[in-house]
Structure 1
Amino acid sequence: MATALPTFDKFVVFSSSTEHTVGQRWKKWLKRFEVLLTAMNITDGARKQALLLHYAGEEVFDIFESFSAAQKGEDEGNADDSYAKVKTSLSTYFEPKKNVEFEVFKFRQMKQEPGETVDNFCTRLRLLAATCDFTNTDRELKSQILQGCTSTRLRRRGLRDEMELENLLKTARSLEISDVQATEMEADEAVNAVYRNKHPQQGGRRSNTQSQQQPLQENRGQTSWSHQHGGTTSSRPCAWCGGHCRSRTSCPARDKQCRSCSKMGHFAKVCRSKPQGRSNASHDARMINTRADSPSQHSSDSERSESEYAYGVSSVTSKTPKVNLQMYGESVPFFIDTGASVNILDDDVFRKINAPALKIKPTSTNIFAYGSSQPLKVRETFETTVSYKKTRVTTTFFVVQSTPHARCGNLLSAKTAQELELLHYTFATSTSAPPQTVADHLVKKTPQLFEGMGKLKDVKVKFYVDESVQPTAQPHRRIPFHLRKKVEAELKRLEQLDVIEKVDGPTPWVSPIVVAPKPKKPEEIRICVDMRLPNQAIKRTRHIMPTIDDILSKLNQATVFSKLDLNSGYHQLELDEESRNITTFSTHVGLRRYKRLNFGVTSAAEIFQNHIAELLTDISGSLNTSDDILIYGKSQEEHDQALKRVFDRLLEKNLTLNKGKCEFNKDQIEFYGFMFGKTGVSPDPKKVTAIQNMKTPTNVKEVRSFLGLTNYVSRFIADYANITKPLRDLTKSNVEWTWGPDQEAAFNRLKTELTGVKTMSYFNPNLETEVLVDASPFGIGAVLTQRDKHMSYIISYASRALTDVESRYSQTEREALAVVWACEHYHLYLFGHHFTVLSDHKPLEGIYNKPTSRTSSRIERWNLRLQAYDFTLKYRPGSDNPADYLSRHPTENANATTRHESKVADEYISFLLSHTVPMQGHDSARNHCSNEN
């Protein structure tokens, strides 16, 4: 039984003539065809295919005939599959070869058209973005809308407020609606202009009985004014008909023709085209200049009131600059007037443009000819976009009616000329704007370095999982209802950035998530995965992490600093496929897993540090700690060279930066928790302020927290151990909590000392190095300094308490212990270079400077440890020795010897015993050492 074909409007035949748009047009045509099939209720696959080939036209049918049997779907089992195959084959045929770079170029060139809404502009951008392979499409759309939109207000709000694309579009709609509503309201208002006579009477007084004229009514050689101050008129004459109208819409002259000038919209009795008293017929065009009114007449920039400004017009000479601007597809000539603050368009030119979409508004702004008291005939005003070469601006124009004796011409204001980059002001001053720095140039040249989230090329992180650990699928933790929308939005964002992916199928590892607000943005959340159980199975990979001493040794003599922050650092390292399952986590919308290195993995910090350090290893003047990269140089040129090399390396490896956290060309910069500058290193003022603002502790836990926070500044305070001793006593076991005067004094004194913390100098291997040492019955201390001519620079303070055994040593042995401990403590600074040890204990001078001197076996053993160092010991009185105070106020940790110190000492003694002591003396040496211990 035959089925009648429903009747419908003619469907457009598809044309493949325009090659560069054929792909997009085919997709659009096919979607419309699918809608047509739905409207006609056609579900049979064979009929769909027949209608497709029929309505697509002869060109598409010929293309279909050239397909193979497989492409035509003849091998498919049913008609529906055959129809789907035909669609796929045709779509593949019409799909152009994509050049991503060219597609991105086209996307960057997009501008909002005059009269186009932001939503339509966004739709055009979204179609182009589909072929650009952007990592974060919404972010790119937002950026291009802000760059290419015609609304200055929208651009300013987008730059001022941090908002997502959806909120930006909502703001744009709100602004567009308010503009339309304001235009309608203004169109219904009266456009009468009220003026005030500004000619002063003799003696500076103005006559209150001065005659008043009708608005816009013209008398030869006289000025027509109405009072603006000191009284109001209850009924103002209409500027269009001369009567009394409530609004422009009710004016009887609205659609009438003037008998004087034959123009529409007004009566002859108020016509502005009547002959003037004295008109210069040679004035083909006139320039607009500002004539300031009284301060009370000025209003805001956002809207022009009736009494805002007055302007004058003067003749244009042959030297007046002229330029052609593009306006609605027409090339319109303009004269540039550097003294004007409004743009003028001649009435005749305005009619030739003939733009139907133009939104015309009445205006009461008054524009005067230069030296004339009569205003020009301003018809209306409108806002539009004009362009010069590649520069486009949206601005307001006033349409001025020419007179029989002179044409006003088209004049461009100074402000618009500047925006179009036609006009540049220079000032004859002794100072000039700072030149663009290399950092500014690099940032401007490489915008892609600050867009989206990068992914380190040629690197995939692998987790080594201990197979003996049983995988665990932990119970799901419920997310509070009021946070679920935020969690869903964050998951969507991470999926769009290719950081996480959905998990389908079974997975042995499942971890719960913890939702926490971001510290600096409480309205936003951070999703954290509880990786405690998976960490038990992930074998830790060890990598060397830099210390403060490593950083200080590199920054010597540096004067210029910059800091780069990698955007979401860990997430720029990709996980290999096998390592992703162990990161699986549960949410209320299903399972997800990480595709990038995630926070919470035990060795994540070391893995990330190692990869970034390897990236920068051959670039001098750069170092990193985690996702912060420090650039430094002894000169601006050296710094700039390092910065450029780092930028090039990051681009090469496809890494991106967080522009908001980057700092350039600083003489002092915060890094690794310290402030590094030209003169040295000091504590971070923010951390010092946090310590000073802490409240008095009320329990042992708070005391430990306070001491932990202050410990990082201990290297800057000589008597830190003495100040904190009463507080440390409270943290000992079996000590009853008592906050007394001693503890309060220590707490307050530490805060006071922090206000006077000095800057420590950088260690310079080329300068003479000195170590000041001293010992007391309960502690030893040392100060590392360097001397340059007659100046001495402090590098670091150090002290420690003596053990019970050490406190029973003789004074000479304690002083000798201070020497060996100080040398091993500062091993990184002292080894391999001659230095001087200063002590206030005179006997040490003979012990260390006379190899033949006889000492105790304990000191002899320490001397073996010191043979690795090249030093000279000199005597200095205690009053001149800063280490004297440190030894009497030591750090409470009695066993403060670092692993490195112990290792160096043990290895060196072992070396000496093996290579310098005779074989027969080994046993006696061991016995002697054991007895001394």
Structure 2
Amino acid sequence: MAQSNGSIVPAPAPLDINDSGTVINNIKLFKSKFDLYLRANELDAKSDSLKVAVLLSVIGDDTYELLETLNATSSAATVETIFKTLQEYYEPKYNVIIEQFNFFQRKQEEFEIFDKFLRDIKTIAKRCNFGDLENTMVKVRIVLGVKNRALQERLLRAPDLTLNQTVEHCKSAELAKQQQEVLNKSDEVDVHNMTNTGNTKTKSVKNNSKWQDFSKKDRSSSSSVDVDYDCKKCGRRHGYKKCFAFGKSCIKCGKLNHFAVGCRDVTQLHKEVNNIGKNENIKVVSDNEPGYKLFDIMSVEIGNINAQSKKNGWSEIVKVNDNCKIKFKLDTGSDIDIIPLSIFKQLNCKSKLNKTYLKIKAYGGFSIKDVGSVELVCEANKEKICTRFIIVDDSKTRCVPILGLKTCIKLRLINRSKVESIESNVCLNSLIKDYKEVFDGGLGCFPGEYKIKIKENSEPRLNPPRRVPESIKEELKNTLSEMCELDVIVKVERPMSWSSNLVIVEKQDKSLRVCLDPVELNKVIIRDQFLIPTLEELRLNLNNKNWFTLFDLKNGFWQIKLDEQSSNLCTFSTPFGFYRFTRLPFGLSCAPEEFQKRSIECFGDINNVYIYFDDLLIATEDEKTHDEVVIQDLERAKKFNIKFNCAKVKYKQHEIKYVGMTFSNEGMKPDEDRVKALLGLKPPKCKLELQRLLGAFIT
């Protein structure tokens, strides 16, 4: 820890600015400690120039270099202006529109306490620039976002409440609900008998409250009832207050707290089978016959269904066993064909049921009990086939006859439509032909030369060449020759000042990548501070995008030319002599920021273009805009002589792998290949293996 001469209290530790996640808190903490340091050593009354000198001497080398680049160490600087400069530099820049969107979308989650909800919306509101309306907007968001509908109704009846009064009402309501639950736990109920149909018979009740049927009040009874029962609302068996339908909407009537299997809205039931035919010798099984019930949750209707198709309900009348017509639900998501037992009995089929060993689950995970299988002849659209039907027990569970995908195709009940569209690879080949200057495989060059800045009075270091394995020595020699032909490196007799070692990386195609290993040089390089986009920023920008095209800048850093002095700094030693880079090499600490900066300068003003080092992504909501941006991007690359890698182009895709994630119009998810690679790793067995694992995946 640094300590000045004659100091009573030692100076605080240097400011740590290397962790972007905690740097703001580090600045605030360091400022507080520095103020205490000044007061403890009676320096707070001294001149501003003296306090600035003390601050710059204890703030740390990294921070001092940053302040130098920000011109914050001039003679007019004060302690306050220096800390203000640091806070403004590291303070995250918020998008007001996005923050306001998040604010108006924020609702209290299920089981979320009100205090957390309040803190969250207040935090977001401070970033929304509401000004004098901030308290009013917070109050409005509370009223519209609380999950307690009864409380929301009371708040809407009192629009003149202040923010504090609204908060008090919400806290009181939450506290009252918690107290009510505590009181309800004291009501002890013994259940001695319960039938499978959901009706409850009781023999004794310990409290004096009136016992109510579980099928009607399964959520209002005592919490001490832990007996599983068959619930009429979700169709499954569970314990008290564990209904799977609680808080969910019925897909038939739209009402809450029950599934379609427990829906009592009879107006939604199909009334009869239309246009059956006039053949009196054919028996018709219709929806209104005894035992025929709907179980809509077993099927999923997908696609864009017009009014007429929805009216028909994706159903078709099929002749079964030449003497009966049954209305089947066409379910392309089903692997089997199903007939309820009640309808099968009406077929008067003489075939015996065969035992099955299937576990049938409906949409939503509900298990369906089967009683066997049988082979039946089906006829539709002049097609006649024999298929196996699973007969399911519908005495307790409502269900409809279902034809699965394979049978639907065999009976030509559904058609697979192929949409004729322009193949993306055809369009890509046309683009490559039109912009052959961009995809010719040569070496591009950003405008201007780059000068590497190093600290004054830096002592040059000369490193001797490293030994290279014999197995790759010849390949290395060929690679160096190719780089000389591309004018990426030039051979020199001896280094002018600096000389670094060489790092050889084998690519996936077994070719070699030659990188600089400038360990000592990186220590004296003055890096240009340039903001690199974070994954969260990319996620927000790529939200709701439908079309993606990815261009890879060929040879990346090599497209930036070095000036003569910088080229001499990038001299390296090999078993074949000394070479120096004429283009920006891999390995320099300043290379990523400079490459990102130049890419932004060339392409950053084009809307819907997102740049992350050598990956240039075009993402739009509609195809027309996407095509326009692609052409604009290629024209810009042609203008500045920037080259793209033809082999790595991903053109007009609806899902794209980018920065280790997969993006689509549904949002962002991890790259499956990387997840598989992570899952395939062996668990670390020692400290060294754990450190190696953390170093590979945590940045």
TM-score (norm 1): 0.29
RCO comparison, higher one (Cα < 8 Å, 6+): 2
TM-score (norm 2): 0.38
Q: Which has the larger radius of gyration?
A: 1
